[in-house]
A and B are shown apart, each in its own frame.
Chain A
Amino acid sequence: MPIKLKNLTKKFGDYTAVNNITLSIEDSKITVLIGPSGCGKTTTLKMINGLIKRTEGNIFFNEISIDKINPIDLRRRIGYVIQEIGLFPHMNVYQNIAVVPKLLGWKENKIKNRINELLELVNLNPEENIFKYPKQLSGGQKQRVGVARALAADPEILLMDEPFGAIDPINREKLQDAFIDIQEKIKKTIVFVTHDIREAIKLGDSISVFNTGKIEQSGKTFEIIKKPKNKFVSNLIGNHAEINTLEFRKAENSIDKDFSAVKINASDTNLLKEQKNSYVIFLDDNNNFLGILSKEKISQLSTENYLNNLKTYFITPDSTLLDAAGIMLSKGINTVPVISAEKKVLGVIKYETIFQEE
């Protein structure tokens, strides 16, 4: 469900915590709010689920004003991971996650199945953890339970306030990876608050940069990195952001289908010359990947020597563009094949694609 914030303002007494912000939050995408402490990120999230009443402006869900929606119903349709996690200490993991499904009157059996499913989703062993109390969990485990709890009733929207803040860098990285996988499956509209630009770039489809209650810039993650609008934004994203993003971009999303592939047994000089790309991928009789050769190399070789000279480097769809760039730079080439687990050619990653604007 898309959310629109329109000229949204929040004043606490004389202090303006959120100052006239306008933002479109895209359906089924992760929108990251980033900015220094006290810039109004949490306040913005809480206005979205009505925990804080706005002073001015409006919020629309699917074009419907928040004023026309019952706040209790709204909150049950929005999963909320609060900054402090806020698990209920007197309830075990099961009971914590079951709260909203119970409020919605789900049957016990359905709840049970859902909780098992959710715990696996956030990578917690259900048997080991379901009867543990919050005090018996580590910080990272608590945050996972917090995320599972927010997802429990399959909400259309997720508001996540620094959900991985309390976790050490290594586990944070793992949780982020898990989170990306989860979002790939569930495709929720997510508003994700963070302090950490690396996290923002990794997770965000879009980023909104907040500063003292205002939005400095918002847009697709790539736009923000390519064209920071001002000093504040460019300082925030730092110097190597562009290279850093490669690490977070999956190869499968940048596959170029325009490639040349021929069966090695059917290849003759003319057929190869006709191929319009500068590289040719060779296949066996079952259309499985064998290797790749540049046209320049092909012209130096006789047909029977192709097989011996094939370059067999490739990447898999779940590799990152950084992997692709690494191969390109070390081998001095500008095309890397993407090969499926079944050895089929899915396409190629080209140098231009990697460094092109999205």
Chain B
Amino acid sequence: MENFIKYITRNYEIIIKELLNHLSIIGIALPFAVIIGVSVGIIIAGKPKISKIIIYISGMFMTIPSPALFGIMIILLAPFNAGLGKPPAVIALIIYSLLPMIRNTVNAVNSLDHNIIEAAEGMGMKNYQILIKIRIPLALPLIMSGIRSSVVMGVGVATIGYYIAAGGLGYFIFAGLSRSRFEMILTGVILTAALGIFLNYFILKLEDIITPKGLKISGE
């Protein structure tokens, strides 16, 4: 324990640097993942067959072990001179995040009360109006929880970034492991966990803000 505190106080600069690195990988990947995942989800939501296929494919991506995916990324991106560093880490993270994002979006949009959609159609709303004014606002809480699970998962996955020189909190864990330095591992684990917990809480709050008021009321 003494070692741990000593380590932190001596290395706080590098800790902050890697923490920021870690956050930037997630921070860059996340907007892409959200935009791609949510829009794909919304586009395919009305089409059960296509949804099934796409969810299946993105599910397959997720089963690729993360070191392998990072490896593939290095090979694929090498010709563009981007085989190491942040780009492959960011792209891998986007790919991992897609499944929960797409699946939650599809479920969210499809789980809407059929009668509400019918009422909207019956009033002469066009499909895109129904999407924007009815489906998306009602699906938002569920979509957000998809985003949340992607982000929390992403915090963990991004630790692998260490292996491809992307930096991040993985450094403490994996370098610590290879050097058998328990205080380094502990630093990495605690920071990763704390970051996950914090982001989870933060997005939970965001979910609450973004949820339409009419959905939060539990009846008076």
Give the B-binding residues of A (Cβ under 8 A): 46, 49, 51, 71-76, 78, 80, 82-92, 99-100, 103, 133-136, 149
Contacts and interface: CB of A to CB of B under 8 A. Distances in A.
B137 A82 contact: no
Interface stretch (B23-31, B115-123, B142-150, B155-163): B115-123
Task: Give 8 nearest A-B pairs by CB, closest first.
Answer: A86-B119, A75-B124, A90-B212, A133-B214, A76-B124, A80-B122, A84-B115, A86-B115
Interface string B111-153: 0010110111111111001000110011000000000000000
Given A88-B116, A89-B138, A90-B138, A75 B217 contact: no
Given A86-B115, A89-B214, A90-B214, A74 B124 contact: yes
B9 interface: no
B219 interface: yes
B118 A51 contact: yes
B10 interface: no
30 contacts: A72-B126, A74-B124, A75-B121, A75-B122, A75-B123, A75-B124, A80-B119, A82-B118, A82-B122, A84-B115, A85-B115, A86-B113, A86-B115, A87-B119, A88-B119, A89-B116, A89-B214, A90-B138, A90-B213, A91-B212, A92-B213, A99-B120, A99-B125, A103-B123, A133-B214, A134-B214, A135-B218, A135-B219, A136-B220, A149-B123
Contacts of B113: 86
A328 B217 CA distance: 55
B1 interface: no
A301 to B, nearest CB: 66
Contacts of A49: 122
A104 to B, nearest CB: 9
Contacts of A99: 120, 123, 125, 133
B122 A51 contact: yes
B68 interface: no
Given A76-B123, A86-B115, A135-B214, 12 more contacts: A49-B122, A51-B118, A83-B115, A84-B115, A89-B212, A91-B212, A99-B123, A100-B123, A103-B124, A103-B129, A134-B214, A136-B220
B215 A82 contact: no
A51 B121 contact: yes
B116 A136 contact: no
Interface residues of B, number: 25
A88 B218 contact: no
Which of B118, B124, B218 gathers the greatest number of chain A CB atoms within 10 Å? B124
A83 B122 CA distance: 12
Contacts of B125: 99, 103
A133 B213 contact: yes
Contacts of A135: 214, 217-219
Contacts of B213: 90, 92, 133
Nearest to B116: A86
Given A103-B124, A103-B125, A89 B119 contact: no
Contact of A92 (B116, B138, B214): B214
Given A88-B116, A88-B134, A80 B123 contact: yes
Nearest to A74: B124
A90 B129 contact: no
B215 A90 contact: yes
A191 B90 CA distance: 59
Interface string B178-220: 0000000000000000000000000000000000111101111
Nearest to B117: A86
Nearest to B125: A103
Contacts of B215: 89-90
B141 to A, nearest CB: 10
A80 B115 CA distance: 12
A73 B124 contact: yes
Contacts of A80: 119, 122-123
Which of B123, B129, B212, B220 gathers the greatest number of chain A CB atoms within 10 Å? B123
A218 B214 CA distance: 43
Contacts of B138: 88-90
Contacts of A51: 118, 121-122
Given A72-B126, A135-B214, A136-B220, A88 B120 contact: yes
Contacts of A84: 115
A100 B119 CA distance: 11
Nearest to B123: A100
